Amino acid sequence: MAAARIRVQRRPVHGVLLLDKPRGLSSNQALQRARALLRAEKGGHTGTLDPLATGVLPLAFGAATKFSAFQLDADKTYLATLQLGVRTTTGDAEGDVVEERPLPAMDAAAFDHVRQRFVGPIVQIPPMHSALKKDGKALYEYARAGIEVERRPRGVEIFELEFTPHEVRGRCATLDLRVRCSKGTYIRTLAEDIGAALGCGAHLTFLRRTATAHFRIDQCITLPALEALSEPQRDARLQPPTALLGAIGAITLESEDAGRFLSGQRRHGAWPDAEQMAVYGREPEAFLGTARVVAGELIPLRLLSPIEISQMLVARAVAGAPA
């Protein structure tokens, strides 16, 4: 007789966990592992990393999921390794080899000339093996069925790009990249395009995200390290939902105005215009949500519920965190 499955009792958890995603797990699989360890009722990730990739994956739980979009729009930084001379069906090491060509013999100036072609605004065609959707279905689902669909070119921007070539018998065999780029950039596509520009083709063999917005890899925790902690220690790894907001302005409201703001009412004051502001209540000191300011009018955008605020205040008191 099969053993009965132990049912995990979920609880309200509100905050941001900076996870160092391991290779071999999808972003959702990594999220579910972390969510189970925290026993969190609700969770989401802030932008996918391929199973091949490792590194910074901010996970939002509870009230923090309302502000995940701030990270979806963030700049990202990656370290990557390209295998030159070999193209694959997927653009990475998981695909089948479709072409092999001679490795390039290039000096530093020639490599730098190619590098400069990819710095600044560029256009990419999204890869078939990606989570981008067409007609409600992810592109990788079409790819697995052997179907290739038309993809529209997308404009992205490469802010920084560094090349470190590695030679074997006088020929460049691999190329390490450090890339800081805008949202929506596909490093797998960048690898293939760089390989084409070098005249030999290439595919991605290593990808590690080292930063997203202001979050860095040295702030992250691995799943085994998280598993080794007690539940209070895991909770202590959570950053508040406001960690997702970055460097936006803040407004503090008195109790009466805070209550009306939470009910969706607009407030008026001498505030400068802003597309996004973090809004706090004074008594008790608590994060209420985000708002837009137009001509001195505070317009609610994303709001926490009174229950979420109460739960966060209780958790803060239990942890002994300063107000």
Catalytic residues: 50
Angle 108-117/187-198 helices, nearest 10 degrees?
A: 130
Residue with tokens 């920084």: 160
Count of CA atoms in the C-beta half-sphere (13 A) of 72: 10
Q: Which residues pair with 181 in a beta bridge?
A: 76, 158
* 43 Ramachandran zone, left/alpha/beta (phi>0; psi -120 to 50): beta
What is the DSSP secondary structure assignment for residue 184, as one 8-state letter?
T
Which phi-psi region, left, alpha or beta, contains residue 295 (left: φ > 0; alpha: ψ -120 to 50)?
A: left
- Running DSSP on this structure, what letter comes out for residue 149? -
- The token pair that represents 89 in the structure block: 């069906």
Tell which residue, 57, 101, 79, 58, has the closest CA to residue 187: 79
Question: Which residues share a beta bridge with 164?
Answer: 176
Report phi then psi at 123, rounded to 5: -115, 135
| Cis amide bond preceding 121, omega within 30 | no
Strands 76-84 and 15-21: unpaired
Q: How far, in Å, are 306, 307, 317 from residue 311 at the CA level? A: 9, 6, 10
Determine the distance from the C-alpha atom of residue 30 to the mean position of all C-alpha atoms in its chain, rounded to a whole number.
Answer: 13
